[in-house]
Amino acid sequence: MSQQPHIIEPAAAATSCVIWLHGLGADCFDFVPVVDALKLPQNHGVRFVFPQAPTRPVTINGGMPMPSWYDILGMSPARAINQAQLDESVATVKGLIADQQAKGIMPSRVILAGFSQGGAVVLSTAIQNALPLAGVMALSTYGPNLGELLQQTKNAPKLAIFCAHGRGDDVLPMSMGREAHDLLEAAGHTAEWHEYPMAHEVCPQEVADIRDWLTARLGL
C-alpha cells in the first residue's frame, strides 16, 4: 500500500466495519461523501475504511501511472489483467480484515465494498477468504476468473452480495456485472441484482438501496 487507509470512525463505539475500495484512477476519498449520504442512525457504530490503491502504469491507458488495484492489459475478448497484482490487492484487503479482527470486530461484522476495479478485488477476496463476512457490495463491477474461484471454494461460507450496475455504463458493460451476479447466485450465494438508469457512477437511488441493505445486514 502506498499510504494508510482513510478511516471514518463512528460517534459511538465501532461494532462493525465497511472496507470500501475505489475504482481505477480514483483515490481513497472518492466514496467518503457517501458516508453522510447514507444517513445511517446516529449511533450506528460502523467504522468506514477507505484504502488507497498503489499508483502504477496502466497498459490500456497508454501506460499512464494512476491509482490501480491491478494493471489491465487488454479489453477484449475478456479483460486481460495482471493476476499477480490482483493477488497483491486481495492480500491487502485480507490484511485489513485481520486488522479489524485484532481491534475486536469479527469477520461476521465486516462488509467489503468496491466500485469497478475495487469491486473486482473485493469479490475475489470474499470468495477466496472463506470467512463468514457480513456481506459484499459489488458496485459497477465484474468478476475476473470468478467461475474458476467459485469452483475452488464450493464448501466456503455462502455470502450475501449486493450487486449494482448502471444500464448506461460505457466503461464496464452491465452484461459483465450481470454475469458475475449469475455465477454467484448459481454457486449458492445470496446475490441481489440492482440496476439503475446511470452510467459508470453511483446514483441517489443506489445509495438509498445500499442504506437499506447495510442496515439489514448489520442490524442497525
Q: Please, which residues have CB within 8 angstroms of residue 92's CB and are 6 or more apart in sequence?
A: 1, 51
**Active site annotation includes 200:** yes
Q: Which of 87, 194, 200, 209 is catalytic?
A: 200
Q: How far apart are CA 26 and CA 21, in angstroms?
A: 10
Given the C-alpha cell 497483491, which residue does it identify? 88
Answer yes or no: are the C-beta atoms of 112 and 161 closer than 8 Å: no
Residue type, 101: Q
Catalytic one of 165, 169, 181, 189: 169
Annotated catalytic residue within 16, 68, 89, 116: 116
- Kindly write down the DSSP assignment for every residue of 71-139, as one continuous string: -EEE-SSS-EE-HHHHHHHHHHHHHHHHHHHHTT--GGGEEEEEETHHHHHHHHHHHHH----SEEEEE
Measured in Å, how far apart are the chain's first and last C-alpha atoms?
Answer: 31
Q: Which three cell numbers stand for residue 92?
A: 491487502
Contact 67, 26 (CB under 8 A): yes
Determine the residue type at 102.
Answer: A
169 is catalytic: yes
Active site residue 22: no
Tell me the catalytic residues: 116, 169, 200
